[in-house]
């Protein structure tokens, strides 16, 4: 074996420290970086990796799993009894049909496309259903195969330049909807195919809004791959903002909103890096952009709006591990004002993270229960929520342990 070769932690019976070192290296993190993100020192990480220090407690293991974005908790621990999907959720029953539609290679013009106006109306209804249905993945998963095929057919049969660009704008939006469905499911290659096709279709459309939405989703995909991809996330975000900036003085609400959403994304990535000043500076800029939107406006894809800025403040504070600030921001934010059920559930999960950071685990569990009521499919695919619930299943307080175990069973983390 060559000196630079590394073992596969998924194929060899390695101890915890060896697995930690391999996964850390694959994420492009130094010991100091991993230690800082975990609230420990680089020397502590070295001690665990070399076996000088014993395997940490579950709450620390879960925090390391969160930072390393492991596919399954057993990938880090090596203990198959801890076979729990964290940042990769369960494969949805409708995933094969959506995947088949994405992977298809249609040729010729045997598929009669619907009128573009009809397809736009169907797409608008799909977005509305995505925001209003508690089981939103099931709802949009049923609609996506036909939407993908019809949007591709509209592109193939476009006869003029304007028709071609308009058709690509529709196709880009279909891929954006598809990315919401595919995200956090066990097919990373499919996610990236969808993201890249969305970017290509948006570029061909030359439509500022389509370009902004595709870039917003691509930046999130990069960031979710871990710290070694944060630079790529920033590159997509900032380049797209530079492209949109000259258009903003004369832009409509949708383009203004996607620019605001991208501005917050830059702050989100900065918060994940631990760059406090930069994160809050971008949040301030995004808030100022939100105030320029019409009263009651709500972006149909990103949820960017005046109301969402309170939720975004909670996210920034949580990512910076500022428990007290997270709780203060949660008190100021109004989850009820967020009309999208999955986005409201996501906000409640972020609030729960804040309460957990602040040493209020009972409030965190109660907030996660509210998130489940708002959108069960959102919390089932959220690694942060799973981490909190699993940690509290080992709480010393019997009542809290029972509540956490009941929620874990509801989420499918434990046998009911």
The number of CA neighbours under 13 Å toward the Cβ of 349 is 25
Nearest to 168 by CA among 135, 193, 203: 203
d(CA 147, CA 174): 7
| Average pLDDT of the chain, as a whole number | 90
pLDDT of res. 186: 87
Please determine, for residue 416, whether its predicted confidence score (pLDDT) is greater than 80. Answer: no
Q: How confident is the model at residue 98 (pLDDT cuts 50, 70, 90)?
A: very high
pLDDT of res. 2: 35
d(CA 335, CA 373): 13
Q: How far apart, in Å, are the Cα atoms of 97 and each of 117, 122, 322, 385?
A: 25, 19, 42, 28
Q: How confident is the model at residue 37 (pLDDT cuts 50, 70, 90)?
A: confident
Locus of tokens 């095929």: 149
d(CA 61, CA 89): 19
pLDDT of res. 86: 64
Which pTM value belongs to this model? Answer: 0.83
Q: How confident is the model at residue 213 (pLDDT cuts 50, 70, 90)?
A: very high
pLDDT of res. 180: 95
Please determine, for residue 145, whether its predicted confidence score (pLDDT) is greater than 60. Answer: yes
DSSP tag of 186: S
Contacts 24+ apart (CB under 8 A), 269-272: 269/219, 269/223, 269/230, 269/233, 269/234, 269/237, 271/315, 271/316, 271/319, 271/320, 272/223, 272/227, 272/230, 272/319
Cβ atoms < 10 Å from Cβ of 255: 18
> With contact defined as beta carbons under 8 Å apart, do 413 and 386 qualify?
yes
Instruction: Give residue-wise pLDDT tens across range 315-372.
Output: 999 999 999 999 999 999 887 789 999 999 999 999 999 999 999 999 999 999 999 9
Q: How confident is the model at residue 81 (pLDDT cuts 50, 70, 90)?
A: low
Instruction: Give residue-wise pLDDT tens across range 237-246.
Output: 999 999 999 9
Percent of the chain clearing pLDDT 70 (strictly above)? 93
Percent of the chain clearing pLDDT 90 (strictly above)? 67
d(CA 117, CA 402): 53
d(CA 55, CA 32): 18
pLDDT of res. 117: 94
């Amino acid at each position: 074996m060559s000196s630079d070769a590394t073992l596969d932690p998924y194929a060899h019976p390695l101890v915890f420290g060896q697995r930690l070192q391999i996964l850390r290296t694959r994420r492009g993190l130094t010991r100091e970086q991993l230690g800082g993100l975990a609230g420990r020192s680089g020397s502590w990480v070295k001690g665990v990796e070399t076996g000088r220090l014993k395997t940490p407690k579950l709450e620390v293991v879960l925090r390391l799993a969160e930072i390393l974005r492991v596919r399954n908790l057993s990938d880090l621990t090596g203990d198959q009894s801890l076979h729990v999907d964290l940042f990769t959720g369960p494969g949805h029953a409708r995933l094969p049909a959506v995947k088949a539609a994405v992977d298809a290679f249609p040729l010729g013009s045997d598929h009669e496309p619907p009128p573009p106006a009809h397809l736009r109306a169907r797409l608008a209804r799909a977005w509305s259903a995505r925001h209003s249905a508690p089981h939103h993945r099931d709802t949009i998963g049923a609609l996506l195969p036909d939407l993908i095929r019809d949007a591709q057919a509209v592109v193939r049969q476009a006869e003029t330049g304007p028709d071609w660009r308009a058709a690509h704008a529709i196709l880009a939006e279909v891929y954006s909807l598809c990315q919401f469905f595919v995200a956090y499911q066990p097919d990373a290659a499919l996610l990236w195919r969808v993201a890249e096709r969305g970017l290509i279709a948006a570029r061909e459309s030359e439509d500022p809004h389509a370009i902004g939405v595709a870039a917003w989703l691509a930046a999130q995909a990069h960031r979710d791959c871990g710290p070694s991809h944060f630079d790529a996330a920033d590159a997509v975000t900032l380049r797209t903002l530079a492209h949109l900036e000259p258009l903003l003085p004369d832009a409509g609400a949708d383009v203004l909103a996607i620019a605001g959403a991208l501005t917050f994304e830059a702050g989100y990535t900065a918060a994940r890096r631990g760059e406090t000043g930069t994160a809050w500076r971008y949040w301030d800029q995004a808030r100022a952009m939100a105030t320029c939107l019409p009263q009651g406006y709500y972006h149909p894809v990103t949820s960017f709006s005046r109301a969402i800025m309170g939720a975004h403040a909670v996210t920034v504070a949580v990512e910076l591990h500022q428990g007290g600030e997270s709780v203060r921001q949660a008190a100021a934010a109004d989850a009820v004002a967020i009309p999208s059920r999955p986005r409201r559930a996501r906000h409640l999960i972020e609030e729960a993270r804040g309460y957990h950071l602040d040493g209020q685990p009972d409030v965190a569990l109660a907030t996660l229960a509210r998130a489940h009521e708002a959108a069960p499919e959102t919390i089932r695919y959220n690694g942060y929520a799973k981490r909190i619930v699993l940690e509290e299943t080992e709480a010393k307080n019997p009542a809290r342990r029972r509540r956490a175990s009941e929620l874990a069973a509801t989420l499918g983390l434990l046998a009911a």
